Amino acid sequence: MSAIKTQKANHKMEDLLEASLKKYKIYQAGDLVDGKILAVTKNKIWVDIDQGRFIGVISNRELTEEGLSLPDFEIGQEVNGYVVDPELEQGFMLLSIRQALKEKGWKAVEERFKADQTFVGKIVEANFGGLMIEADGMRGFLPVSQLSPENYPRVGNNKEEILKKLRELENSNIEVKVLDYDKNTNKLIFSEREAKKEEVAKLIGKVKEGEVVVGKVTGVVDFGIFVALDNHLEGLIHISEVSWDKVDDIHKFAKVGAQVKTMVIGTSEDKVSLSLKRLHRDPWLDLVKDYKEGQVVKGKITQIMPFGVFVKIDDKVDGLVHISEISQDHVKDPAEKVAVGKTYDMQIISVEQDSHRLGLSIKALEAPSSKSGPTAGKSASSKSSAVAATELGKLDIGAGVLGKLQSAGVKSMKDLASKSVEELMEIKGIGKTIAEKIFKVVKKK
């Protein structure tokens, strides 16, 4: 019983202390205060603060700027105010409702951002770049790129059509997260994609690469075809995955609303990549079925580029001789060694299914130089380089990529195996996707 009495006494002391602190609190400009309306006059609202200890005043002009009017307020109603001036000449405290709302709004924004919270906002306006969202008394911007697949306008780069689609969302609610904010610059950015990220990721986790799925075409744009899948996901058939043949007009392959069967070829956190052409055998494989690495063929030069020459084999298969594979000697300009329209013997060093061409070498067939001294050393080195190039060529990484590796001093499998993904990305012309592909191929070997 004694312990209970002591506990009650402590609570009572805490309440008295809190009341005492509140009683003698001195307010400063920038503080937020709570009060009750004492009176509403023609030009002002009078507010009781701390049970008569202070009297606050809100001007009618301030209300008008906020879109409020005097009849909206009643005597006894509780209001929040932002202290503009703690003591006017008359002894009253000048308050601002507008600034109080703004401060409360920024506080809510900060709390939601720190908590990574998903909440509901209202779409109040659309423009060419995205949507204006209202939440917690604040207005912020949601860029088109931050819309979820469900609301993303699938109309290509037509700005007028994008705006038309976005305007259809006005006055509706939307789930968002705070992506970024800066109180000093009044910047507030929302994201619907981030709000839906976990939900979409769970759905994508159920999709398997290589799976054949049926969906409904929701949009056809210059770069691909959008497809809504049965599990509330949306996938994209990139134009490069529409057909094995060249696609001149993508609209010939799909119509909005039509059912389409596709294959899943990849997934990411919020995207499913689909393919139409993978449902059929690649006809290029039949064209190259008789060609093997190490085979000697005759190739006709069709185009000379700074990085190498394009070749046609038997008038049906394309190939590339990288500049490093043209000659045992150093080549600055491929045109010094070969000419368009002429045919040369060359060796197949790679069969590149992704790029639909053969990797070829002319120098692999050149006889080593019989000269002694530095020249002979150079020839021996070139022969070694050719062997290394042939070794790397077997990795099916493409002649262009092979050339970039050799230019960076990667001459053999041993050199390549010592490189990390980050080190490969430091090589000019090799991005993250190619670097990861090379790394995976080398690990398999």
Alpha-carbon span 62 to 79, nearest angstrom: 14
At residue 376 the predicted structure's pLDDT band, cuts being 50, 70 and 90, is very low
Mean pLDDT to the nearest integer, 26-30: 86
Alpha-carbon span 85 to 288, nearest angstrom: 84
Alpha-carbon span 430 to 123, nearest angstrom: 42
> 285-323 pLDDT, tens per residue?
888 888 998 999 999 999 999 999 999 999 889 999 999
Give the position of tokens 């060419």.
Answer: 128
Is residue 331 a part of any domain in this protein?
Answer: yes
Among 101, 129, 159, residue at a domain's last position: 101
| φ, ψ of residue 99 in degrees (nearest 5) | -70, -35
Is residue 11 a part of any domain in this protein?
Answer: no
The DSSP bridge pattern shows strands 93-96 and 119-127 to be unpaired
Q: Residues 6 or more apart from 119 whose CB is under 8 A from it? A: 112, 135, 175, 176, 177
Is residue 431 a part of any domain in this protein?
Answer: yes
Same domain, 275 and 301: no
Scored b (16 or more CB within 10 A) or e, 324-355 reads: bbbbbeebeebeebbeeeeebebbbbbbbeeb
Give the position of tokens 């008038």.
Answer: 315
Q: Given this model, what pLDDT does residue 312 score? A: 94
Is residue 111 a part of any domain in this protein?
Answer: no
Same domain, 233 and 260: yes
Mean pLDDT to the nearest integer, 222-245: 87
Phi-psi region of 294 (alpha: psi -120 to 50; beta: other; left: phi over 0): left
Write the CA distances from 77 to 34, 46, 70, 95, 102, integer angstroms.
11, 11, 13, 16, 20
The count of C-alpha atoms lying within 13 angstroms of the C-alpha of 104, restricted to the half-sphere facing its C-beta, is 16
Higher pLDDT, 373 or 248: 248
Check: CB of residue 189 under 8 Å from CB of residue 142.
yes
Which element (helix H / strand E) includes 164? Answer: helix 159-167
Q: Given this model, what pLDDT does residue 379 score? A: 42
Is residue 245 a part of any domain in this protein?
Answer: yes
Same domain, 313 and 438: yes
Q: Given this model, what pLDDT does residue 286 score? A: 87
Q: Look at 14-18, 240-244, 400-404, 416-420 and tell me which has the smallest mean pLDDT.
A: 14-18
- CATH, residue 34: 2.40.50.140
Amino acid present at 289: K
Q: Given this model, what pLDDT does residue 221 score? A: 87
Higher pLDDT, 206 or 12: 206
| Pure H helices in 24-119 | 60-65, 97-114
Q: Is the pLDDT of residue 370 over 60?
A: no
Same domain, 291 and 434: yes
Q: Is the pLDDT of residue 23 over 70?
A: no
Is residue 110 a part of any domain in this protein?
Answer: no
Q: Given this model, what pLDDT does residue 67 score? A: 59
Domain count, the chain: 4
> Structural domain of residue 168, as residue ranges?
116-198
Q: Given this model, what pLDDT does residue 109 score? A: 93
Same domain, 172 and 36: no
Same domain, 260 and 292: no
> 151-163 pLDDT, tens per residue?
888 776 778 888 9
Percent of the chain with pLDDT over 70: 83
Among 251, 279, 307, residue at a domain's last position: 279
Alpha-carbon span 265 to 213, nearest angstrom: 11
Same domain, 52 and 146: no
Mean model confidence pLDDT for the chain: 82
Same domain, 270 and 289: no
Q: Given this model, what pLDDT does residue 445 score? A: 59
Write the CA distances from 321 to 194, 225, 346, 365, 440, integer angstroms.
46, 35, 9, 13, 25
Same domain, 291 and 274: no
> 71-127 pLDDT, tens per residue?
577 888 888 888 989 888 788 999 988 777 788 889 999 999 999 999 999 999 999
Percent of the chain with pLDDT over 90: 34
Same domain, 234 and 382: no
Mean pLDDT to the nearest integer, 35-39: 91
Same domain, 272 and 333: no
Q: Look at 35-44, 383-392, 431-440 and tell me which has the smallest mean pLDDT.
A: 383-392
Among 72, 101, 130, residue at a domain's last position: 101
pTM for this predicted structure:
0.52
Q: Given this model, what pLDDT does residue 20 score? A: 52
Is residue 107 a part of any domain in this protein?
Answer: no
Amino acid present at 196: K
Alpha-carbon span 95 to 58, nearest angstrom: 5
Q: Given this model, what pLDDT does residue 115 score? A: 95
Give the position of tokens 């700027």.
Answer: 65
Higher pLDDT, 205 or 238: 238
Is residue 78 a part of any domain in this protein?
Answer: yes
Same domain, 162 and 176: yes
Q: Given this model, what pLDDT does residue 2 score? A: 52
The candidate with the shortest Cα–Cα distance to 227, out of 253, 193, 245, is 253
Phi-psi region of 398 (alpha: psi -120 to 50; beta: other; left: phi over 0): left
Q: Residues 6 or more apart from 10 whose CB is under 8 A from it? A: none
Phi-psi region of 385 (alpha: psi -120 to 50; beta: other; left: phi over 0): alpha
What tokens does 181 get? 């904010």
Q: Which residues pair with 123 in a beta bridge?
A: 133
Q: Given this model, what pLDDT does residue 68 score? A: 59
At residue 356 the predicted structure's pLDDT band, cuts being 50, 70 and 90, is confident
